[in-house]
Amino acid sequence: MTENKQQKYQDPFRATLTGIMDLFRKQEPAGTLKDTERLDGKTVVVDGASSGLGFAISTQVAARGARTVMVCRSGIPGKGEEVKRLTGNTDVHMLKVDFRDVESLREVVSEIRERFAPVDILICNAGVVPNKSRLTPQGLEEMFMVNYFSKFWYVTSLVENGSFGSSLMSEDKGPDTGEARHILSRGRGIPRIIFVSSESHRNPKTINWGDFGKYTPYGIKQSMEHYGHNKLLLTTFAVELSRRLNAGGRTRFSVFALCPGPVNTNIARESPQIFQPLLKLVFRLFFSSAEKAAAPVLYFSVSNDVEGKTFDYLFLMNRKEVDPKAMDPFNGEKLWDLSDKLKKNL
């Protein structure tokens, strides 16, 4: 049974078939989205926001009244203007970033702090599925950088520099800073950090520590394998981030992760041209629209049901435990240490 689960996302065909089957399984929703739950007065930052799931998320949080900051590589300013037109919310802004490039990350973190802090809700959505490995400007592998390491770099930098109105706390630091108390006392609620992960994080048998941060060549046959491994790193990071930010038994940040299920987006745009027509047909017929798939992200963003939680994970709208490898404190600490060292060396 374990082997079968680990094979579910082994290649694009099996991943697609698994996604279709998941949509037809019985669902037990963790909660419901209420029209009365809004985001007026809150600042929500969404990355990968110019298309697909990120654009749908941006539109829906803006429709609920949030000051919406769309962080993306393209679509500026047109996509922001489209969100304004669709929602009637004029408090929508766009920032340019390239998650492949650390220098671009430095710039966007600085701009978020200077123009939009304090951030109430940070939604980490950007991701890629390239058909082969590619080098980033700093010599890392693109999927590792975009799908995992840029998130570590981006999130820890935003928390450390006070963009949430709080400082990053290690496991041996319990008390809040005065700045953190000030934010929470203003009635803004507990800040939320939301990671769009994937059920494919369950696929790897283990975390490959030996190749961490190293450029590893691969082709299209190995792309889903690498995708699952990077989503395992991301989910492990989310769990460890919650541990560190909420040390001492008090919820200072809510950290959430989720898998939106199969979504009809252009994430498979690099698949071989011969398969493109078939994939587009399958996606259109069987996969959820980005608007529908955004439901768990919006639930974690707006719902009062999860206020005060330190961590939670949803698959579609179903509450699940993350893979034991992601929950393992040893893996969390080791991943943090390796990521922090890599961050300091770039």
- Fold for the domain defined by 2-22+30-345: Rossmann fold (3.40.50)
Any idea where the domains of the chain sit in the sequence?
A: 2-22+30-345
Which residue, 45, 119, 84, 53, is CA-closest to 296? 53
Q: Are strands 121-124 and 311-315 parallel, antiparallel or unpaired?
A: unpaired
The pLDDT of residue 181 is above 50: no
pTM for this entry: 0.86
Residue 94's nearest CA partner among 119, 123, 120, 68 is 68
- Per-residue pLDDT, averaged over 223-247, amounts to 96
Q: What percent of the chain has pLDDT over 90?
A: 70
Average pLDDT, the chain: 86
pLDDT at 176: 41
pLDDT tens per residue across span 36-78: 999 999 999 999 999 999 999 999 999 999 999 999 999 999 9
| Pairing outcome for strands 254-259 and 192-196 | parallel
Backbone CA torsion sign across 38, 240, 346, 145: negative
